[in-house]
Amino acid sequence: MTFFRFMTAMLVGMVILMPSGAQVPIQDDTLTLQIVLQGFNDAVTVEVDPLNNVYVLDRLQGTITKWSPGGKAQVFGGRGSIGGQFESPSDLDATTGFLFLIADTGNGRIQRLGSDLVFLESLAPDERGSVSGRGAIDHQFEAGRGNLSVSFSPIALSSSPDGRVFAVDRSGSAIYEWTSNRQQVNRLSLGVNQRFQPTDLDVFGNSMFITDDSRNRVIVADLFGNELMSFGEEVLHHPLALQVNQRFIVVLDGDRLVFFNRQGNLVRIASIPSRDAPTDFYIRGSAIYLTDRNNLYVSR
């Protein structure tokens, strides 16, 4: 990490797009970004834990930066292949605040870290043959720790409230599910011979949500991999990341945030003027955390 400093910037141009298609300007269409954390080389993910610590994953440096509510920045990790090091990591899950999941893409594994970001274990599938299963489960694997017999390049992951881990592979052919005890891995296929270009994954309640850049849509499936619906084809242009809550499904689509309700209907579009293309976002209450390759922006 090179350096960090604070500055003030402006995020302007937000509009609401009603379902009828008529644009209605927000009364205050300017957001002030009060804090910018600089010094990243390739920031690809931002996450916030329940204590409001912010985590930024730098793909090029292989590092995790933890930024506390008090403004203290700590850097963990680095490039490498041993536990606690990463090669081209692409996603981070900090849902619980005491267990962290990292999609260590370049090393073909998922890493579990403890509350102080200390390495606990690696997760990767080792194939031992196919079995029949419920829903769209088409293979089951032993929970491997290395020496993979399965090509695995996780690019996005998420965890369920009961401790299961879900990861989507770069190939777009399947989603992998680790059971809560991490002793078994199920491969979930979304439809027969269906391939997609996944960019992000979020598990909320009993459903998983996946952004598909090949068809500019959001796929919704149950936790067995059965596709429930898809939406967004007529609205999205380059879906990169998403976040789901009780009311909305929010998608980072190029230089804008697109809000859908839980039924997949368009509710709002928020433009993001930026010197560089946004890479990820996280909404916590009234705060929006946003990254581009070099900076972390916070709007409150």
DSSP one-letter code for 286? T
Question: What are the structural domain ranges in the chain?
Answer: 39-282
b or e along 170-182 (b: 16 or more beta carbons within 10 Å of the residue's beta carbon)?
Answer: bebebbbbbeeeb
DSSP one-letter code for 293? S
- Per DSSP, the residues of 10-69 read EEE-EEEE-TTS-EEE-SS-EEEEEEEEE--SSEEEEEE-TT--EEEEETTTTEEEEE-T
Alpha-carbon 241 to chain mean position: 6
Residues 233 and 213: their CA atoms lie apart, in Å, by 10
Both tokens of 216, joined, read 């500019």
Task: Please give the angle made by the CA atoms of 217, 57 and 296, to the nearest 5 degrees.
Answer: 85
Write the single-letter amino acid at 10: M
Residues 75 and 86: their CA atoms lie apart, in Å, by 13
281: nearest Cα among 252, 256, 245, 254:
252
Check if the beta carbon of residue 190 is closer than 8 Å to that of residue 177. no
Backbone phi and psi for residue 107, each to the nearest 5 degrees, phi listed first:
-95, 0
**Model pLDDT, residue 108:** 92
Write the single-letter amino acid at 293: R
**Model pLDDT, residue 6:** 33
Residues 135 and 105: their CA atoms lie apart, in Å, by 27
Q: What is the CATH number of domain 39-282?
A: 2.120.10.30
Write the single-letter amino acid at 118: V
pTM > 0.85: no
Both tokens of 198, joined, read 């996944």
pLDDT truncated to tens, each residue of the chain (300 aa)?
443 333 333 333 344 344 444 444 332 344 566 777 999 999 999 999 999 999 999 999 999 999 999 999 999 999 999 999 999 999 999 988 889 999 999 999 999 999 899 999 999 886 543 322 333 344 444 444 444 445 789 999 999 989 999 999 887 767 899 988 887 788 887 765 567 889 999 999 999 999 999 999 999 999 988 899 999 999 999 999 999 999 999 999 998 999 999 999 999 888 887 778 999 999 999 899 999 999 999 887
